[in-house]
Structure formats: structure tokens, C-alpha cells
């Protein structure tokens, strides 16, 4: 009896730790399953985010490609000079394309902590492209005569190589306000002239003439602005330095550039940080009525000018077709006579 009770107690004692281990093992299995489930959920959510980001980037690329193709189709309807200008624009844009081999320069400059591989690669591409662009600008500046080893006192007249490209001159000459429902200038005359210039064709031959005169102006402006910034111990040029250089030229220049009406209205009504206060003259009924009338005229003017441009393009296309038909008929008659 004693031996049987002892063996029974021993069997009970040996069963208790195994039961405890089985319970702890089942609890560990549940925790592992729960952690695995959470990991799979996180992986699924991360995968879904990656797919969503890829779809958004693909959609953005598709829209940009469609816009570029539409712009190309519109430009193809212009004259042959405009085609040459478009080729120049495409070549200048192609020069700034991203080079995958340039990733090595920025390998240690990208913060990789807490980012996915796609985000790290995108940041690398962005930084490499920025560095390549700065290197290109520095090369152009050296060719144009701006060097740390040599400083010309007449850099605005001592032009070795133009800083501006033909495509940049064309884009600058064809610039115009894009929002007709906002105030732009004091009157409608300047707005109309800018819109007409933006719709007019500018061949590279004419752009080179404009560049020859604009190069001196730009160099004088840049030199003066940087000199002011250096005198004030600033590390970069701000709007204040540029305005100080352009203000004395306001009387002799045709278009307003120091403080256009649209810029003033934006600073008074829609600026995100500190806004300017409207003067008592800006609050009068007469001024408000004039602003409304000006905006109304701007809205009606833009489609009118576009229709005129389309009619002019159609007329030129008809003349080209007529000339081609007459030339073909003359060639046919010459062939039959021979």
C-alpha cells in the first residue's frame, strides 16, 4: 500500500510539470500565431501602399506623357521655325535627364532609416539629378566667364559664351499670365500684349537676336544683385536685392515688373503668411468696380485671342496646301510635256 501510494504520488508529481509545459507551449503558440498574423497584416498593408503609390506614379506619368504629346501636336501645327524651336527645347530637356550611373555620387548622402527601397531610390535619383544640374550650371558659368579664379569688372559686357540658351529665351518671351480670372496689371493693354506674344511663333533666328541684347541685361542684373547680397553679408540673392536693381529701370522699360497689380492683390488677399493691408483707395467702390470690369475683360479676351490664332493657323495650312497642290500640278504638266 505504501509503495502503491508512493508511486501514485510520484506519477501525480511527474504529471504536473508536463501539464504546465503544455499550457505554456499552447500560450506561446497562440502568441506566435498572433504575431505572425500581425506581421502578415503589416506586410499586406505595406504591399497595398506600394501598389497604390506605383499606380499613382504610373497615372501621373501617363498624364504627363499625354500632356506632352498634346503640346507636341499643337506645336507641330506651327511653322517650320517653331518645329526647330521645339527640337531645341527637347534637346535641352534631354540633357537634364537622370543618369542611373550617377547614383554612386550620392550613395552616402541619403538617409535610409525608416524608408522603403522605392523611397530610397527615388531620393537618390532626385539628389543625383540636382547635383548633375548644378554641375551643368557651373560648367556653363565657367564657359561664360564666371570663375572663382578670374573676376572681370565688366562681366556684363565681357560675354564669352551666352548664359541663356535659345529655348530659355523662347520660353521667357512667350510667358504670359495663366489665370485670367485674377488681376494681373493695371490695365488691359499689357495683359493683351503678353497674351498675343505667348501665342505668336518665335523662330530660333529671332531668339538669337533677342538673346544678344538680353544677355547684357541679365548679366548686369545678376552682378548687381549678387554684389548687393555680398555687401549685406547674405549667402544668397533675395527678392529685395533684385528689386533694388530693377527699380531704377522702371521708367525706361515697357512692361511692369517691380510690383504688378496681380502680385499686390495676391499679397493682400491670398498670401499664406503675413498679408498686406488694403489701402483706403483699394476699398472704394470705384476701385472694386474697376477690378471686376478688368477681370471680366481678361476672361473674354483670352478665348478671343486663341480663336484668332487658330484661324490664322488654318489659313496658313490652307495656303501651304494650295502651294503644294500648284507645285504638284506644275510638276505633272512638265512631266506630260516631256
> Is residue 86 within 8 Å of 72, Cβ to Cβ?
yes
CA gyration radius for the chain? 35
Separation of alpha carbons 49 and 106, rounded Å: 26
Longest dimension (CA), the chain: 140
Give how far Cα 38 sits from Cα of 31, 45, 48, 216, Å: 10, 10, 15, 66
Instruction: Look at residue 5 in the predicted model and tell me its pLDDT.
Output: 44
pLDDT for 105 = 60
Which pLDDT does position 179 carry in this prediction?
Answer: 87
User: CB neighbours of 309 closer than 8 A, spacing ≥ 6?
Assistant: 199
CB atoms within 10 A of CB 302: 19
Domains of the chain: which residue ranges? 87-107+117-143, 151-308
Other Cβ atoms within 10 Å of 166 Cβ, number: 23
- Measure the CA–CA gap between 331 and 338, rounded to whole angstroms: 11
**Residues 165/88, Cβ–Cβ less than 8 Å:** yes
- pLDDT of the residue at 335: 87
Per-residue confidence of the chain (338 residues) as pLDDT tens digits?
444 444 444 444 444 444 444 444 455 555 555 555 555 566 666 666 667 767 777 777 777 677 666 655 544 444 444 444 444 444 444 444 445 444 456 666 677 777 788 887 888 888 888 888 888 888 877 777 777 776 666 776 777 778 888 999 999 999 998 888 888 888 899 999 999 999 998 999 999 999 988 888 888 888 899 889 999 998 888 888 988 998 888 888 888 776 788 888 888 888 887 788 888 878 888 888 888 899 999 999 999 999 999 999 999 999 999 999 999 998 888 888 87
Give yes or no for a contact between 125 and 99, defined as CB atoms under 8 angstroms apart.
no
CB 176 within 8 A of CB 194: yes
Against a cut of 0.85, is the pTM above it?
Answer: no
Amino acid at each position: 500500500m505504501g509503495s502503491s501510494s508512493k508511486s501514485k504520488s510520484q506519477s501525480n508529481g511527474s504529471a504536473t510539470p508536463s501539464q504546465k509545459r503544455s499550457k505554456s507551449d499552447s500560450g506561446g503558440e497562440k502568441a506566435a500565431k498572433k504575431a505572425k498574423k500581425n506581421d502578415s497584416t503589416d506586410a499586406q498593408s505595406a504591399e497595398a501602399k506600394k501598389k497604390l503609390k506605383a499606380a499613382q506614379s504610373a497615372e501621373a506619368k501617363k498624364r504627363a506623357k499625354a500632356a506632352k504629346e498634346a503640346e507636341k501636336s499643337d506645336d507641330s501645327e506651327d511653322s517650320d521655325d517653331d518645329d526647330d524651336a521645339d527640337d531645341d527645347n527637347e534637346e535641352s530637356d534631354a540633357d537634364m535627364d537622370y543618369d542611373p550611373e550617377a547614383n554612386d555620387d550620392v550613395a552616402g548622402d541619403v538617409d535610409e532609416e525608416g524608408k522603403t527601397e522605392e523611397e530610397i531610390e527615388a531620393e537618390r535619383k532626385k539628389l543625383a539629378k540636382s547635383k548633375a544640374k548644378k554641375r551643368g550650371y557651373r560648367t556653363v558659368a565657367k564657359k561664360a566667364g564666371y570663375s572663382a579664379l578670374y573676376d572681370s569688372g565688366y562681366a556684363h559686357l565681357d560675354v564669352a559664351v551666352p548664359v541663356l540658351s535659345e529655348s530659355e529665351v523662347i520660353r521667357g518671351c512667350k510667358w504670359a499670365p495663366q489665370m485670367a480670372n485674377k488681376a494681373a496689371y493695371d490695365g488691359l493693354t499689357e495683359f493683351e500684349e503678353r497674351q498675343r506674344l505667348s501665342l505668336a511663333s518665335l523662330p530660333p533666328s529671332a531668339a538669337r537676336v533677342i538673346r544678344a541684347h538680353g544677355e547684357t541685361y541679365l548679366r548686369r542684373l545678376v552682378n548687381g544683385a549678387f554684389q548687393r547680397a555680398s555687401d549685406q553679408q547674405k549667402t544668397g540673392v533675395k527678392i529685395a536685392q533684385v528689386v533694388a536693381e530693377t527699380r531704377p529701370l522702371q521708367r525706361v522699360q515697357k512692361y511692369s515688373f517691380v510690383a504688378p497689380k496681380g502680385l499686390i492683390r495676391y499679397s493682400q488677399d491670398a498670401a499664406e503668411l503675413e498679408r498686406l493691408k488694403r489701402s483706403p483707395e483699394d476699398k472704394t467702390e470705384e476701385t472694386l468696380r474697376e477690378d471686376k470690369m478688368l477681370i471680366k475683360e481678361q476672361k473674354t479676351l483670352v478665348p478671343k485671342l486663341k480663336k484668332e490664332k487658330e484661324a490664322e493657323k488654318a489659313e496658313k495650312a490652307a495656303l501651304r496646301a494650295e502651294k503644294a497642290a500648284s507645285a504638284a500640278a506644275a510638276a505633272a504638266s512638265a512631266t506630260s510635256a516631256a
